[in-house]
Structure 1
Amino acid sequence: SKLINLFLYNLSKMDFNISISSDPCTSASLAPIIIEEIDSNSLDQYDLTEFRETDTIKIVDEQLGAEAMEVDQVSEPEIDQQLTKKFLNGELSFSQLAELQASASEDEDEVEPVKPEPVKAVVKPPKKKSTTPSKPKAKRNRRTRLPPALLGLMGEANLRCARGDMQVAENICFEIIRQVPTAQEPFITLAQIYEVSNPEKSLQYSLIAAHVRPQNAEQWVRLANLSEELGDMKQAIICYDKSLKADPKDIAIHKKLIKLVEDTNDTKMILRCYLRYLEYMPVEDGSEIVRLAKLTATNYHHENKKSSALKALEIAYKRARPFFTAPEINLLLELMIIAKKYQSGLQVLAEYANIIVEGMTELYKGETGIEQKFIVIKCIIPDDLIMDLRIKLITCIVCLRATHLFDELINDLLKKEINEVYGELYLELAETFMEQNYYEYALKLLCPLKESSNFSLAAVWLSYAECMQNCGRIDEAISSYQTVIHLAPKHLKPRYTLSALLLEQNNIPEALKALEQDEDLDMLDPGLLYERCKLLKMVNNEEQLLHVGQVLLYRHCMRLRDEDEVETLTRLQDVVRKIAAIKEMRTSRGDIVEDVDAPVFLNANEPTVQEEWLLLKDLLQITYNRKQYGLCQRIAFSAFGSKRFKEYIRELEFTCLITSLINYKGYLAFNLVRELLQKNYDKPRVWNLYNQVVQRADDVRHSKFLSRFLSRAGRKYKPIMNTLIGNNCLVAGTYKYALTEYMNRYKRKRSPFNAFMVGVTLFQMACQKFSAKRPSLISQASAYFFKYAELRGKEARHEIHYNCGRAFHQLGFVHVAIHHYEKVLEITNSLIESRPDLLDLRKEAAYNLCLIYSKSETTYFAKLYLEKYIVL
């Protein structure tokens, strides 16, 4: 860096008047050591005697000892050096530096997983004592001693500072910091250098000096006072906090820190300060200890930090037990029960309420060895014990599974009159019995509650129904769940359970009724709708399944309103762009973008994407089987615009294509098959689909598309593409292009089909109004038709005569056409007789004869052929 280069440059100009001591290690000026590498083969025997063979010496810090060599716990990580450099360059404030360089230990108020108290402890055999004295482990220590050479250089810096040569002193300090970033001395000297000229910078260097050696509490207090004077309260809070870590017994600093933190309204920091202050408050202020502990515990409880709340009350209970009253004891017991410290809870009750609990410790073999647990044998409860603490006592005994005491405890409890407060406590205790799987005992508490006029609520009936279900009393459980649904119609969980119970009894209509929701009033549960769809499928109720399934799918599928929106879906590929385009279309038309009558759904308990995909396939299959092709197409295209089905987009695209085909929507089908063809042009099935779309097309868009596409890519792969291009040109009326393609194909393969298509094209050209070479075209067409007849064979004479008759009929040569049509009526064979619906052309030939005779006003023959061959 520039700073180090400047330092080296100044050193070269400085004249150090320091005498070299006899000990080179303590000298500030060290003689250079020159190492020369010599080949031993080039030396004679006499010179070799001047050298001695040595071993590698391991240099170990004498203060750390051998054990510190094994685990590097003293040296600072490289990240500390980087952060210190950033602080020196002004990139970080001290507050940010202190946060980043905080120790790896967790915060005191961090939520930890609640662990049960050590009721079960692992008993291990005592270990044999070692005769070798153990060495204390090396602790992390920020204090770093400078090497002897740098100590001398540090002294030179202090001397320069005293003489007023601040620039040189500063450069020396920076060089020492570069080599040993965790040394305190250079930062102290830098703070002295800037003490007059720049107090803020002096304070920053003092903060770093205190940070690298944080055990000096007085130094932190002094820095906190300076920070307060400069108005930097956040930095002052950090300094006071560091001071308390060095000397936590300073009550005055505790109070100062709490006052500053309270002004910042930082709740997290305030509670941390309260929690730490509780351990060092004077015991004489017992009432204040209890008040502050209750306040801290309540706030932690509201933030769901149960372990920190319990810690606050345990500290206060240990230090100011006589000042605890019933509310504080009740809160302490509640937190102990949450932490599963049941034995500790009994101990607190025994000390506070004179409860006598007799128990014993039982050893048993567990998974990790010999373990022990506390067993309650006897419990004597005073009659004047308040209900809150009595409930907490019974809860602890229930969780310790002292079943022999349950009847007596419950009977004594039921003697009390149920009032507004006691009812809630009874319900909490019943839920505790249920958590421990003691449902029969829970029923004893729930029965009087459900019969009470004040507590016959949905929560009580729900617990009662769960107990009945777990006790095997299914009929009573069903009745109770029905009561719950009546009292709380919007509570959805009981509907699942009730439906499952009714389904076990094969009562499907009632199970479906339990799953019904009001689409107009309630927020619909997707999981409940899906369960209802499964039941409807089970009973084969297709009408209701279609309705409920569409309601479920339309929570994320598009509700398409017209053909224009459907067409928009087929033109775009990305789902997000599809939705945006439809919304823009609705906005441009002045329509409401969102569906006003759409039901509102909960954002939880949704079926999986795969489950909804299978449901969608079921709905499509049902509509297809019922021949509701319009509804089938609407459902498919609605799902095509859903983000949830993006992983099934290819399947949906093909499904929409098929539904458009069966619904004779050629325009939509072409938009879809066009993309499919461009990606899969080498697959014959795709071309078959394309031909199906072309047959249903309402326009001739496919002609230009196919010409461009096949001219670009089709010829490279299959010669049969000539036939497709020819067909496309023949339909478009460009007969010369069609003739070229058919002739190219005919030259490669002289098949009857290729000869037939060449003949058809020539006949079409001859039929044009202005044709200069009409006789020549007719002759050539006839020649190709004769070639077609030759290649087709005698077995196909029925087909050959019909095609020839059609061609001459179109040309106007009716006498020739009549000859061929009559041949069609005469010729038949076993193959035609086996599949008359596909191969028999006599009806078509008879109808064409009827047209010819009707046009010539020979009605007798026209009527003859109609009555003989065409029967409806």
Structure 2
Amino acid sequence: MDIDEEEAVWDVVRDRINVDIESGEFTALSKALFTNYLSLYKHFQTNSSNFSSTASTSFNTLEFDEQSASSSQKPKKGRQVGRKQVGVNATLDSLLGQANLEHARGRTKQAMSYLFEAIRIAPYHVQTYKEIADIFAEQNQPEKSFEFKLLAALLTDKTTAVEWDDIAELSRSFNRLELAIACLAKAIKKDQGNWLYYEKRIQILDSIGDIELAMKTRLQAAQSINCQNSQINFAWIDNLIKTAADYFCTLKDEEKATEALETFILRSREFGRSIDFEHLALLGMWMNNERFEDSAKSILALHQNLIQAIGEDNSPAIDIKITNAGYMLEPFPPVGNIRWRIDPALSNIFITHLIICFIHLNLFHFNSDLIDLLLERPFAQNEDNAYLEIARSLHAVEQVGMAVGFIDKLWNKKPEFKENADAWFLFGYFQQLLDNFEDAKNAYEKVIILQPGHIDACINLSTILQQMGQSDLALETLKDLNLDSCSQLPEERLLIRQAEVLLAQNKTLQYITTLRLLLVPHFYDVHLSGDELIRKGRRKTVKILHMSLTRCAMDTIRGSPLERMVKRLGAIAIANHRPMDNLGPHELHDYAFKLAETLYLAGEYEEMLCVVCYAFVQPKIASLNSKMFTSLLFFASIKARDYTLAFDFLRFYMTFTLPRITKGRESTESASAQALLPQSHLPTENLNYVYAAMNFILCQHQSVNYHRFIMRQLVKLPDCDSLHIISGNNSMVTGSYRHALGEYFMVWLKHQDNPLLAFLIALAFAHISCKKDISSRHVVGLRALAFMSKYSNLRSPFLSQEIEYNMGRLFHQMGILSNAIRCYERVLYECPTPMILTEGPHGERREELAMKYDLRRQASYNLSLIYESAGNRIMARHILEEFCTI
């Protein structure tokens, strides 16, 4: 085998070592590479007899499939793969012995032939690969030696962590970093407590930029390293965990961040450091995610010296084992009659958390003793909310009677809670749920005495007063309250009456807040049933609904402040079994319209759009078959600058509504002709409105979807001039001037008396002439001037600001500054201010100066730029002072 042929074989060896760097598993590549190698081998076999005998054994060496390429996927016992145990096959022993003999005599090539034949007979014989690696090392071929060492390590599960580390170092020396990472992963699996392997792997991962895997390795190291054996200090572990935790927090990976925090707590406890603050943070995260069993186990395990469950025989009822990676509690929950032993050093907050966990795990029999022990302990002022959270948890699992009993016991044992407004509010709320309205009323009044600005207490008190028939007093209770931050909803009839009073008093902000609270529970129906409710509700109507318009309306709502408020208060309304039948579809429609109108007058366009979208998809309002909110969608989206929804509405209107209008007008046709008409039959005046609005949206906001829709419409209506102009304008905005020019000329050939077309064509030619890659710049520029002159003649025979300003802008863009100055000066000193027709107070028509259409400020600014570029700053300042000074 010559050098080139030998290199071809080694290239295949390298290619077949594919690696998953995260798991450290080596796998063979696809059989396509193997087939390519087969053709290469046959080519060498036909051209070299010397290569034939040696390469065949080399080929057979590589001829093991995916099962034989990984040590974790070796064939099972009894499978016929042509492999025999080491020492059993006499031929194998003979070949190895002969290879050693030939190598000792200095005949390395013959020794290699015997070794490759041995591999053909026994592909899994590890010693053969090691001997080949040793021979290549003696021949000063370290990379080939490394590859056979790697193959030998892969073929046995007995490869030690030290051997994998040595192979990883060789991989780094040959800059094969992915192999080094995988080898270090193998070493870590063999010896998980050695910090050196993690350190090396992290360094390589950081060097290649694989940050995610580097952070996972840091977290794995913090969980697995034996700090005593490795002589690692806490600072090293602390830096390791905090680096990983900061990364996972940045990615908002809550699961990994929680795992890092738990690891930090376990390591801090191992080094004898305080863990209360971090442990409380971890418990908060777990309990928010309803991991109450993990929270309870954590408290009992990490504070086992301070709190213990004692069985009937006065021995610990739970066996706790703590390791670097976690802890085990057996049994959990404890069995039998349990009493608790609590050290005074344990914080009350951990006891309250443990009680809350047992409540949510339905282990109420553990809490009786715990609550008694808790209430006998000293009480700190900042722990009051933790005590009250027990009552809230009992209410969450629908144990309202137990919650009332806990508050009574709390008041008896801790009299200071009788001055706590939150405790009285909870007591009143629970009594209200139990229909004890008199007790609830007294409790809410106590809350208002202790905390006059307690919004939820005022709301609930007003609801009770309304139910007792004291409407005036209920309305007085809600007077001058800011209800935006409430967590309870007032009674519906009370909100209706308050809205009427606020409207009469012209209190706009309070009126908006009241209507918002009135509609929130009904808007929540949209989120309760999702898209299925929307589709089902709309199928009941006779109107055609474009589902993409509905989805676009829902996308507009998503993430808005109103949506967050609807979800928060709507869920509370459902939990409190708030009646939803008091307002009918017509009342909902009217109140939603009043809210949208008030928000429009207040300039709150974004919230107005969300209200319109909610009303558009609300099932009760949709059942009225009203066009009101469908029509308001476009108006609200334009005011709120949501051009995506506005364009989708126009597409909906153009595709579905206008054909229905035409169909209704042609009522004299036969029944067979009542199908939807093609768009070429649509009313011209309606289409012109649609095209004008669509062109406005394209000028304000660009999207490839808009252009695709226009092109699809052009296929359906190739003779529609408005669509050609819209397509040209879109191309002009995006910089496709030649395409825009083609669209404009298609219309110009039919309407050569239209000044707007001449102006657009002039603009397109001007933009093309200013491009860098144009070869006939002056010819194209002359065409721009010719069409601008045509525009001027068609537009008006009189002197006009519009014409002179546009001419000046064209000359300014093309660099013909002397003509630009002349045109701008005509705008400033010769052209009259535009006049418009308006209606007087009695309906008469009259002309007025249209100052908002006066172009003198724009012309003076452009003229000052020309003077400033020429160095005449005095003249530029004079022009600005004369025409642009407020």
Instruction: Name the TM tier (shorter chain).
Output: 0.3 to 0.5
TM-score, with length taken from structure 1: 0.42
Rg comparison, structure with higher value: 1
Question: Which has the larger share of helix?
Answer: 2
